[in-house]
C-alpha cells in the first residue's frame, strides 16, 4: 500500500471534520503547510483517542500523545532512472493501555522494516532506487518498552504477514568526548526465519560543533549464507539552528560471496529546516564504486538525493 503526497493531504482534509470540531474563522490566516500538518496530527490523535477508549475511561490528556513523521525523497543515480520514495510512521502512546505499551503504524521499505536496518544504511540514505510495488510495505503493530533499553514489537505488514522484534539499546560515555551506542535487534518473520541486526556507533567530539563518527551494522538470518554488513566513517559539523553537514566514506558487502566487499562510496549530506523546525530538507551528494562480483565501470558514478521531512 503506497500513498502519495496528494493522497496524504487528502486523508488529512477528509479527517479534519472528524478529528476535532473545526471552527475556522482564523483558518485563512494559517499557512497551508501548518494546516496540513495539524490535520495529519489531529487525525492520528483521533485514532489514538478512539482506540484508547476501548480499554478504559481515563482521559487521553493524562499521558496520551502521538508523534510521527512524513518523508519524501527524490533521487537520481547515474545509470539508473530517477526515483522517488515515500515514508510515513507514527507512534501512539495511550493512557488506558498499559503505561509502556504503544501502537505504531506507517509505510517503509519492507526489507529494512523486517531487519530493523539502521537509517544511515537504508536504501534511500545510500541513494539507491526502490521498486515501489516490491520494496514498500504498509505496517502496523503493538510495542512494549521494558525499562529504557529494551523494546518488544509485534506487527503485521501488507498481506497480513506477521513479524516481531526484540531490541536492546545501550549508550556508554567513554570520557568527556567519546560515546558508544550499541543496538541489537533479534527479529522473526516468515521469509527470513530468526535473525539479528547488530549496530555500533562510536562518536568522538573534536570540538563543540565538530564530531567524528564510525558506524557499523551487520545482519544475519536463517535464510542468509553469510553476514550482510555496512560501514561508514565520517565527520559531522553542526552549524546551529538544526543545520548540519556530514562527509562520510562508505563500504559494504557480505561474507557469503567470493568477494566480501560489494560497493564503496563517499557521501555528503546537508540538513536544515526550510519553514519551521518541524519541516526539514536534506540534500545528499554521493559517488559510488561497485566492487568484486558487482564491479562494472559502467555502474560507477554520481548520485543526488533531495529529501523533505515533516514532523508532527
d(CA 81, CA 83): 6
On whether the pTM is more than 0.95, the answer is no
pLDDT at 122: 92
Q: 68 pLDDT exceeds 90?
A: yes
pLDDT at 262: 87
Q: Could you tell me which residues come within 8 angstroms of residue 233 by beta carbon, excluding any fewer than 6 positions away? A: 212, 213, 214, 215, 248, 249
d(CA 93, CA 88): 17
Q: Which domains does the chain have, with CATH numbers?
A: 67-311 (2.40.160.40)
Q: 147 pLDDT exceeds 90?
A: no
d(CA 310, CA 312): 7
d(CA 188, CA 153): 11
pLDDT, mean of residues 293-311: 80
First to last CA, the chain: 21
Helix extents (H) in the chain? 5-19, 32-52, 110-115, 132-135
pLDDT at 3: 38
pLDDT digits (tens, 9 = 90+) for 129-146: 887 677 889 999 999 988
pLDDT, mean of residues 83-101: 88
Grid cell in block for residue 270: 546537508
3-state secondary structure of 7: helix
Residue 19 backbone class (left: φ over 0; alpha: ψ -120 to 50; beta: rest): alpha
Grid cell in block for residue 78: 547515474
Q: 206 pLDDT exceeds 90?
A: yes
Lowest mean pLDDT among 151-165, 239-253, 266-280, 293-307: 293-307
Report the mean per-residue pLDDT for the chain: 86
d(CA 244, CA 236): 7
C-beta neighbour count of 39 within 10 angstroms = 23
Contact between 88 and 77 (Cβ < 8 Å): no
Amino acid at each position: 500500500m503506497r500513498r502519495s503526497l496528494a493522497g496524504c493531504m487528502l486523508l488529512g482534509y477528509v479527517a479534519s471534520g472528524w478529528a476535532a470540531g473545526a471552527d475556522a474563522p482564523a483558518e485563512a490566516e494559517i499557512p497551508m503547510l501548518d494546516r496540513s500538518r495539524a490535520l495529519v496530527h489531529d487525525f492520528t490523535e483521533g485514532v489514538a483517542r478512539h482506540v484508547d477508549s476501548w480499554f478504559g475511561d481515563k482521559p487521553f490528556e493524562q499521558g496520551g500523545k502521538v508523534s510521527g513523521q512524513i518523508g519524501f525523497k527524490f533521487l537520481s543515480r547515474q545509470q539508473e532512472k530517477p526515483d522517488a520514495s515515500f515514508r510515513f510512521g507514527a507512534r501512539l502512546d495511550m493512557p488506558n493501555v498499559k503505561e509502556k505499551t504503544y501502537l505504531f503504524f506507517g509505510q517503509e521499505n519492507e526489507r529494512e522494516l523486517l531487519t530493523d536496518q539502521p537509517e544511515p544504511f537504508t536504501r534511500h540514505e545510500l541513494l539507491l532506487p526502490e521498486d515501489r510495488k516490491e520494496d514498500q510495505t504498509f505496517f502496523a503493530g503493538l510495542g512494549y518498552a521494558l525499562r529504557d533499553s529494551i523494546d518488544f514489537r509485534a506487527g503485521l505488514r501488507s498481506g497480513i504477514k506477521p513479524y516481531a522484534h526484540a531490541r536492546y539499546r545501550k549508550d556508554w560515555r567513554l570520557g568527556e568526548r567519546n560515546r558508544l551506542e550499541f543496538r541489537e535487534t533479534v527479529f522473526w518473520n516468515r521469509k527470513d526465519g530468526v535473525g539479528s541486526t547488530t549496530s555500533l556507533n562510536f562518536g568522538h567530539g573534536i570540538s563543540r560543533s565538530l564530531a567524528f563518527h564510525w558506524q557499523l551494522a551487520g545482519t544475519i538470518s536463517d535464510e542468509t549464507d553469510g553476514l550482510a554488513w555496512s560501514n561508514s566513517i565520517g565527520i559531522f559539523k553542526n552549524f546551529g539552528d538544526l543545520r548540519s553537514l556530514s562527509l562520510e566514506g562508505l563500504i559494504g558487502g557480505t561474507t557469503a560471496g567470493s568477494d566480501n566487499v560489494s560497493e564503496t562510496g563517499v557521501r555528503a549530506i546537508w540538513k536544515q529546516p526550510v519553514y519551521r523546525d518541524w519541516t526539514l530538507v536534506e540534500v545528499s551528494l554521493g559517488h559510488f564504486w561497485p566492487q568484486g562480483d558487482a564491479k562494472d565501470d559502467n555502474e560507477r558514478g554520481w548520485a543526488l538525493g533531495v529529501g523533505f521531512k515533516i514532523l508532527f
